[in-house]
Amino acid sequence: MRRFVAGSVRLLRLACRPMPSRAERVKQLFEQALDLPEERHAAFLAEACPGEPDLQREVADLLSALAAATGFLAERRDPTATEQPGTTVDGRFELMERLGEGGFGVVFRARQLEPLQRDVALKILKLGLHGRSATARFEQERQALARMQHPNIAAVYDGGTTASGRPYFAMELVDGKPITEYCREHGLGIGERVDLVIAVCLAVQHAHLKGIVHRDLKPANILVARSSDQRPLPKVIDFGIAKALDPDVAHPDFTGTLHGQPIGTLEYMPPEQALGRLDELDSRADVYSLGVVLYELLAGRRPFERGDHATGIGADGMVSRIRDEAPRRPSTRVAQGDRPVPLPGADRSRWSRALHGDLDWIIDRALQKNPDDRYPTPNALATDLRNFRSGMPVSAGPPTAGYVLRRFLGRHRAAALGSTTLLLSILIGFVATSLALADARAASASKSRTVAALRTLLLTADPHALRGPDHSVRAMLDEFAPHIAERFASDPDVALELHVTVGGAYRNLSQLESARGHLDRAVALARTAGDALPLERALIEQTALRRELGDLRGAAESAEEALGMARARNPRSPRVGQLMLTRADLYRLADDPRQGEALVQPALALLPRNNVDPRVLAQRAFGLDLLGAFALRRGTTESAKAHFEAARAARTRCFAPDHPMLATSDMNLAAVHRTRGALGEARRAAERALANQSKAFGARHPQVAATHAFLGGLALQQNDLPRAREHLGRALEVRKAVLPAGHPDLASTFADLGRLELQARRPADAERHLRCAVELGEAAGGTSRAFAGAIQNLGIAVERQGRLDAAVTLYQRALRLHRALGNDNPGIPGSLTNLGMLTHRRGDPSAAVPLLREAVELRRSQAAAAGELLNAETALARAAKAAGDLRTAAVAQRARVALMTELGNPAGQIAATRAKAARLFLDAGDAAAAKPLAAAAHAYCTTEIPDQWPTGDSAAMLAACLLAEGKCAEAARHADAAWSLLRRSPAPVAYRRRCLEVLVSAHRGAAAATADEAQRTDHRHTADRAKADLAAMPGSGGTGR
């Protein structure tokens, strides 16, 4: 009946679609009416929805609203639609053919009729953006343009307004190609290309002298025609148009085309223009754009192009690259070879070598972010290009330290120093001293000032200080760093300071290998010099680096040495306290919590108390973190939580809320929450940290990876496999990119991914990851618990794919490794359990029993979690039963009862386990042990499932127990009840047979015991009948097990 109703509803739904809403009907009718002439609207509506006058009226109202809405949200007509080929403009220009169109308007080839007949390019500008005042301004501009007379500038002849009121220019018609195309088509070499640009520079210079800046220089606006003697003749077009269009807005269009060429992209704009700082635009903007054109002509591509960079494709991403990123040198770009060489058929490496040096430097200077660092005029650029052509030295030499510094300061004024005065004094100091240093005649005072200034600047590379990964700082470091040794060869102490600083900066940028070279060199220099303080500083940096590199032993050595030196100076100094904390942290990482924890309190005592100095607060927070970490390790989570919270509180006092150090605190708290089992809280804290770190460090940073790894592990624990896979995948990607090969974190990420795939039941994938983890672990010496765990899991992955022999080997290896790590290692019972189960699976339960028994005992002594213990007990119970060791199986089953109760398993499951235990004890001949189990199982069954056969079975077991105690009459009663339930039940024959056997014995016993003749006969009778039943059962003759 019910089914029928549901079915008919489905039929009804199929039969009629959902009714359209009223709004939909209104629109439908409206649209249908639109196809009809207006006079038929009323008739149509009357026909389409008879009897619905409201609906008719609503649609009719809309139709009349549309008629009245002329001009409302109307589309403007194409602004140039009235000017078509054939039209005469201003009575003087006859439009001939449309050449192109852009955001500014449209260009026609036109015939000028008077005063002289010639062909011109007529550019009609779009209206609508401009009011009347714009027209006046436009006229002014036009007059200025008309003053320019230069063979390489397309002349502006005339201008005015069209009949429809739009401004137009009449310009020299250039029959040419964009410069890039021209060079390619005519196979121009580097020298010829440079010559063309020189001519363009001079043209632009001419315009600048007339007070006109182009502001939109790009190949599409630099056409190359052929002169009468067939030489290439560049012509700059569209001078001043950008400004005439709108004096406030120099952004040209992005998508228009001229002669089919895309024009106007961000790619030719200097930073000040791309950023919209239009008041800063001057002639040097054109120098930059000329630099881009030159770059493109020589390198075959523009300095920055959309889509050639991972960070983004958008105009926004472009703007920030134009602002921040140093373009790669043209020679490098060519050598790299991902695009054809600009001249087809040219030899790549020769072309690249020809650019290397002078042309690289010239372009570098033209493309400076700060206009002050560029060539001051196009003329200066042309001069340097001529120098290059004639083999003279160019003015743009290789970047000097001072030059690099100046550029750097220009970019990072605010971030680096905050105050202009300070900036100036440092700048002056640096420039002065670096000049002096170049003479190798520097006074030591100014030397140290130089170094101090440089250090201040380089420390800006610390994302902690800068908030945000800074690629230009990287670029500057890369440029500067290789020259330290050579440039400061005669000044080892300066070189030492610079190596320490540069090494530290690289470390902060996660360029660990680069950092290592500098710091090793610094330490070596300091040892040679024999000066204590610099050596101590270098050692401290080296400690931090080695720690990050995962070289814990090396880090400990450096730290011990630095600590010894600091103690020798003053054993009670805060510096000693700091170093002790560093050392304690290394102990923690090296799995030596006892030594580590002992250092922390004395270290904290050395730090100044009640100090509000942020550095001291930060150190104190670090100490508290360590205390928390050690507490966590001891399992005292509440105290760990308190320490971490205190550390976070200290940090909020000295850092801004989005400072990455707070993320460190959040991660610590996340770890505590995870240990406490508060996984949701752990996730929230870690996600907060991740957001903070990604902002501060960028996506590719080891700390970001660590947080991803944590979140991945957490998701794994919560069995959210997709989330786990995402986080762990990210962690792996970043770690592969930034960590040195063989770093322990890489191994642990692979191990986690392996665990994930095991959990996802993809053992082949798991094996792949785990093999990587194991390989890395072996390379690192392979003794850690994590390494043993990876081998263990690899065993599981292999076993799940059916390769049992290989799995045994792996489990045995894992077991050996775990045993080597100490008896309290929870990995031992884990390996034992796996090995035992596999041994059983391979058909040798007797060999499995001792393994599993040891696993159980170890888990008990290690106070393992109930779930883990339960797994071991289950495996043991099964193996022991299969091996015929019934007593061991029985004890294991009884232990399972307690564990399942602790874990809150369903009562039915627990009762069934009790019954199993009871049966095993009975079979093992221990009725006394069986009785309470059987009684409890029976009690459950009689309440919950009184009429089902397990109730009978438990009654039969109870009867057997009573029989063993000699209580035959009571046993007989239970056996009767049991048989009445089992007789016709689907219970296995063995169960029924057991029941009958008890029944027979119980009644016989009862017959022997009773004095009452009638009762005795009765018992005998029952026993005989049961005996007969037993004989009639299948498989009779033998006794069931």
Partner 1 sequence: MTPTDDQLLATVYQRLRGIAERQLRGERDDHTLQPTALVHEAWLTLRDRLEALSHDPARFFAAAAESMRCILIDHARRHNAKKRGGGADRLPLDLEQISATASYDDLIALDEAIAALAEGNPRSAEVVRLRFYAGLTEEEAAQALGMSPRTIRREWAFARAFLFQRLDLHRSR
Question: Using CB under 8 A as the criterion, which residues of the chain lie in contact with partner 1 when the complex forms?
Answer: 21-24, 26-27, 30-31, 34, 61-63, 65-66, 68-76, 103, 128-129, 131, 248-249, 251, 253-255, 265-266, 276, 278, 306-307, 312-317
What gap in Å lies between CA 555 and CA 267, rounded to an integer?
47
What gap in Å lies between CA 560 and CA 540, rounded to an integer?
10
What gap in Å lies between CA 623 and CA 946, rounded to an integer?
64
Asked if 968 contacts 1002 with a C-beta cutoff of 8 angstroms, the reply is yes
Q: From the CB of 475, what's the least distance to partner 1, in Å?
A: 24
Angular region, 105: left φ>0, alpha ψ -120 to 50, beta rest: left
Listed in sequence order, the DSSP H helices in 116-268 are 132-146, 179-185, 190-209, 241-245
Encoding tokens for residue 817? Answer: 């490794």
Listed in sequence order, the DSSP H helices in 570-678 are 574-589, 593-606, 614-634, 637-654, 660-676
Assess whether 1029 carries a catalytic annotation: no
Q: From the CB of 271, what's the least distance to partner 1, in Å?
A: 14
> What's the sign of the alpha-carbon dihedral 658, 664, 669, 671?
positive
Q: From the CB of 312, what's the least distance to partner 1, in Å?
A: 6
383 exposed, middle or buried (CB, 10 Å; 0-12, 13-18, 19+)?
A: middle
Instruction: Compute how many other C-beta atoms are within 10 angstroms of the C-beta atom of residue 639.
Output: 16
* Residue in this structure with the two tokens 């200034």, named with its chain if needed: 453
- Residues 6+ away with beta carbon under 8 Å from 349: 335
| Amino acid, single-letter form, for residue 868 | E
Closer CB to partner 1, 70 or 117, in the complex: 70
Q: What separation in angstroms does the CA of 70 have from each of 62, 74, 79, 740, 837?
A: 13, 7, 18, 70, 84
Q: From the CB of 776, what's the least distance to partner 1, in Å?
A: 34
Q: From the CB of 213, what's the least distance to partner 1, in Å?
A: 19
What gap in Å lies between CA 804 and CA 838, rounded to an integer?
8
What gap in Å lies between CA 152 and CA 947, rounded to an integer?
108
What gap in Å lies between CA 990 and CA 996, rounded to an integer?
10
Asked if 749 contacts 772 with a C-beta cutoff of 8 angstroms, the reply is no
Q: From the CB of 239, what's the least distance to partner 1, in Å?
A: 22
Asked if 130 contacts 138 with a C-beta cutoff of 8 angstroms, the reply is yes
Instruction: Compute how many other C-beta atoms are within 10 angstroms of the C-beta atom of residue 128.
Output: 9
Q: From the CB of 153, what's the least distance to partner 1, in Å?
A: 27
Closer CB to partner 1, 102 or 463, in the complex: 102
Q: From the CB of 659, what's the least distance to partner 1, in Å?
A: 22
DSSP code of residue 123:
E
| Amino acid, single-letter form, for residue 535 | L
Nearest Cα to Cα of residue 827 among 764, 784, 891, 772: 784
Closer CB to partner 1, 66 or 764, in the complex: 66
What gap in Å lies between CA 430 and CA 92, rounded to an integer?
64
Q: From the CB of 131, what's the least distance to partner 1, in Å?
A: 8
- Residues 6+ away with beta carbon under 8 Å from 488: 437, 494, 495, 498
Nearest Cα to Cα of residue 493 among 529, 517, 457: 529
Residue 161 CA from chain centroid, whole number? 57
Closer CB to partner 1, 687 or 844, in the complex: 687
Q: From the CB of 552, what's the least distance to partner 1, in Å?
A: 39
Encoding tokens for residue 313? Answer: 């494709």
What gap in Å lies between CA 581 and CA 619, rounded to an integer?
8
Q: From the CB of 662, what's the least distance to partner 1, in Å?
A: 23
Asked if 258 contacts 100 with a C-beta cutoff of 8 angstroms, the reply is yes
What gap in Å lies between CA 985 and CA 241, rounded to an integer?
100
DSSP code of residue 693:
H
Active site residues: 216
